[in-house]
Structure 1
Amino acid sequence: MNNSPKDIVAQWVEVFNQGDALKISEFYHNDAVNHQVANEPIKGKENIYQMFLNEFKMAEMVCIVEHIFEDGEWAILEWKDPLGLRGCGFFHVVNGKIKFQRGYWDKLSFLRMHNLPLPTE
């Protein structure tokens, strides 16, 4: 098993598609940050685990890789899902684990596609 950022993200996608919050949380450093820009940043491996646990219960999500690029300690994932949603994620991988992740996607489209409640203002 290779630990390059590109390989780590490819493995991360496989586990994401299994919907296993515990297994996916093992990809992160204890003090990692996961910032999906549509939401507040999640700090710490335990909180990231809880985030995935909640999200995997909320909707069946599938990540289809379009491209994974690598630049030094960074991997960039361009993805789509079967419903037509598209997004991009940036992963800072240090010593074989994700230290920082930032994702860009349309939250309103996601909620609508999965028939989830829309935010009220």
Structure 2
Amino acid sequence: MKPNEIVRTFVELFNRKDVNGLAALYHEDAINYQVANEPIIGKENIKEMFASEFAAADMVCIVENIFEDGEWSILEWKDPLGLRGCGFFHVVDDKIKFQRGYWDKLSFLRQHHLPIPSE
């Protein structure tokens, strides 16, 4: 599958909160680096991350644009509460090898009435 197809599948599974389906999209040693958090390494840890995040907040991804360049796909997204972000997906052999996401964590925490960490 092309990187854009993988990302479209990712969005469908994300919106269904299908942690097993999402995990299946990743290489065993994949890295998911949401820049507001520490990188998550490994398919099983990524699966646990999604399970934890879906339990904490009702997240929905609305696609604004998907771009493709070689092995990379770029997703511009928004959610129903107005948060916007983008994700970069490096797809190798039909699996996500590396993902990096940019979004405003403070706005996300406030919108979902989640605790704001003190530093």
When normalised by structure 2's length, the TM-score is 0.99
SS of structure 1 residue aligned to 2:75: strand
1:4-43: CA deviation from partner (whole Å, max 9, x where unpaired): 0011100110000001111111100000000000000000
1:89-112: CA deviation from partner (whole Å, max 9, x where unpaired): 000000110000000000000000
Aligned to 2:51: 53
Task: Indicate the percent of aligned positions where both proteins have the same amino acid.
Answer: 70
Aligned to 2:99: 101
Aligned to 2:18: 20
Aligned to 1:113: 111
Aligned to 2:73: 75
Structure 2 spans left out of the alignment, 5+ residues:
none
Q: Distance in 1 between matches of 2:34 and 2:112?
A: 18
CA RMSD of aligned residues (A): 0.4
Q: Distance in 2 between matches of 1:82 and 1:46?
A: 29
Q: Distance in 1 between matches of 2:15 and 2:79?
A: 11
The residue type paired with residue 89 of structure 1 is: G
The answer to whether the aligner puts 1:33 opposite 2:23 as a matched pair is: no
The residue type paired with residue 75 of structure 1 is: S
SS of structure 2 residue aligned to 1:49: helix
When normalised by structure 1's length, the TM-score is 0.97
Structure 1 spans left out of the alignment, 5+ residues:
none
What is the CA-CA distance between 1:120 and the residue it aligns to? 0.8
Structure 1 runs of 4+ with >2 Å offset: none
